Structure 1
Amino acid sequence: MDISSKMQNVIEEQLKEIEEKENVKIIYCVESGSRAWGFASPDSDYDVRFIYVRNKEDYLKLNKNRDVIEWRLDDVLDINGWDIQKALRLLYKSNPTLFEWSMSPIVYKTTPQWEKISGIVSQYFLEKTGVYHYLSMAKGNYREYLKTDEVKLKKYFYVIRPILACKWILDKKTAPPMLFSELMNECLDDELKPEINRLLEIKKQTSELGKGKRIDVINDYIEKELAEIEKKADIIENEYNDWEILNKIFLEILEQ
């Protein structure tokens, strides 16, 4: 999970270049994806995600700027970010990606402006939205990658992690943590932990898990959990958020 000082410097230089060329201020930047989840392969790329703010005048123009910056995508770096307006609108909708960014264990940059937002993020978490997001992710990856006799073994993590995220939400009523180890220790059945740990060690040490025979004990667990989560998700009551705090924070950040 540690980032080398060399890569830290490379990423910081990229952020400075974005600010200069795009005329924005980056108020928060983190690692997302497998490195932040804690199961990166040696050759995994760096999924760098940031939140930025433009000058106040830019938000008053009739010709609006794009609300995303897609900066770089290659074998080493995947860098893109969201405008503060987009981020706050998605927070209002309890967007799970934003919660993941806010809890990333690898932070490249933070600011007092972001601290204003991070202090209220948890208030905007909606249980039903979170469960349905991770349930859809788990079902999609399972259906596409893990139902044949031979499967891409790394895809087990892209099904098990969202399942465990659902179980965390249903149990604790809060956004799930980023780290897979924390989810696994808290939410995974004990009898499955040795098999998952075996796959985890292989993934961390090799560039590619590759294909292998379907692991029936994991597939059985996945199918059982997906059915149970779907039943529980259907009876969660809808909740709604409020704009007032987000509008206030947005205006305060612009004034700074």
Structure 2
Amino acid sequence: MTLNKKNILKISMAIFTVIVFFSFLGYHDICVKHEAYIERAETENKLLQNQFDEILKKYDSLNSTIEEAELIEVEEAIKSAIESSNNFENNFDAKNENKSLESQIERLKNAISEDSENIVEINDRIQNNKKSLDQLESIKSNDKRIRHDKLSALNVTARGVKILSDLYAKKRERKIQQIRVCFTLQGNEFIRQGNKDIYIQVVNPKNQIISAEDTSIALNDIKLLYSAKVDALYNQKDLDVCAYVNLESNKTIKGKYIINIYNSFSKIGSTIFEYE
């Protein structure tokens, strides 16, 4: 697309250069003609003024009895003066036409300049729109793939649980014995209905995975050690799920615990539980 943009810009600049070059030649020719017209008009004005001066002299020199030949000469001089006046008016009209041509040339230059700027702006907008379109299509494609392949656990919460008993009362044990984990499996019409194996993994502040019964699943070389398992009957609608995770006394310490939710080997949710 960058190559196309450069080609369009090169073509546009070439066309613009050619038009400006011929416009400049036309404008230069018009200027030369315009100056010639001005010089010619000034010469004709001087000639016309001389002719009128001669007419006035002849009128002054006329007596009450003017011979026929002199009258004819005066009439011819007047006729010549009128023709010169008409030629001057025609030259004046030509000068106005030159100004009109100059105005047209100037408008054409402005139009070419504006069109060139518009071409660049339109090309930039097209490139930006195509880039945005590619990004959106990529996001849409990834979103479809994720929605088809993966559950999502939302609103993951966790809290500590102490089990009340006579033995507990005597020993006055203050540690929590369980963590209650709750979450919502998000409804998704692209995921098949049925039982879903949900695994809860609790990691203590020392980065130790709590697994009271040493529970794990393995596939090829991949092994997932988890803390508790839940069977959830999924019906493509939002499903609230809660489970109790039994803790190991020697791994139960104060601090922040990471709670991960898995469906098979895919992590679908996570939260932080702080035990104070």
Give the TM interval when normalised to the shorter protein.
Answer: under 0.3
Higher strand share: 2
The structure with higher relative contact order (CA 8 Å, sep 6+) is: 1
Query: Normalising by the residue count of structure 2, what TM-score does the alignment of the two structures yield?
Result: 0.16
Query: Normalising by the residue count of structure 1, what TM-score does the alignment of the two structures yield?
Result: 0.18
Structure with the greater alpha carbon radius of gyration? 2
